[in-house]
Amino acid sequence: MVFLCIMNYTAKQFNIPNLAGISEKQIKVHLGLYEGYVKQVNFIGEKLAAARAGKLELDPYIVSELRRRFAFEFDGMRMHEYYFEQLQGGSCKVKEENAFANAVKEKYGEQGLEAHIREVAGSRGIGWVVVYYDPLSQSLITTFVSGHEVGQLAGLPIILALDLWEHAFMVDYVPADKKNYIDAFFANINWGVVEKRFDATK
């Protein structure tokens, strides 16, 4: 007997207040795109499970492409969950003299993490700025990830995610004004969420 085991994901609901510099319409459009990733994750999972169970005949090339596509859809879903969580609860500054603040100071010194993220965000192209924590080196790592599933640092917990795909800001800003969107992101981020993610790595 072949069991058909399917993990169905449900789009999360986010309690996002009115944001400075990011419109309600922009958030609504962006959330709709996130929900599309969730739908595609479930769709691909169902097709692959049905094929494994012998209930659906698929060409091996189609199966191969679905498996590749699953990583894109899944990471797109999960990265957006990291992103929207950071906008819940209203703007909140980094607390001073806690474990996260000390790790930031040790790695980025007087420049600070925000300044470094802005520098990385200036990279040409679409993608994400992702801040990870590496337990082996016991330090933060900030990098540019060009695709949801391409360039992620294997096994490292994500501390912060900044969406730089144009869908994240095109309702409010043209591409040449991406810097204004980044300003708005930092004006609204709840650093308390980021600190909790960091604390969870310990």
DSSP string, 135-171: TTTTEEEEEEESSSSSS--TTPPEEEEEE-SGGGTTT
Backbone angles phi and psi of 162, in degrees to 5: -115, 115
How does pLDDT run along the chain (202 residues), one tens digit per residue?
A: 344 456 799 999 999 999 999 999 999 999 999 999 999 999 999 988 887 777 778 778 888 888 899 999 999 999 999 999 999 999 999 888 899 999 999 999 978 999 999 999 999 989 999 999 999 999 999 999 998 888 899 999 999 999 999 999 999 999 999 999 999 999 999 999 999 999 999 8
Closest CA to 158 of 181, 136, 182, 134: 134
Q: Work out the number of other CB atoms within 10 angstroms of the CB of residue 143.
A: 16
Which domains, ranges and CATH numbers included, belong to the chain? 24-85 (1.10.287), 99-199 (3.55.40.20)
Residue 53: the pLDDT is 74
Closest CA to 140 of 110, 123, 116: 116
Q: Compute how many other C-beta atoms are within 10 angstroms of the C-beta atom of residue 14.
A: 16
Q: How far apart are CA 145 and CA 164, in angstroms?
A: 10
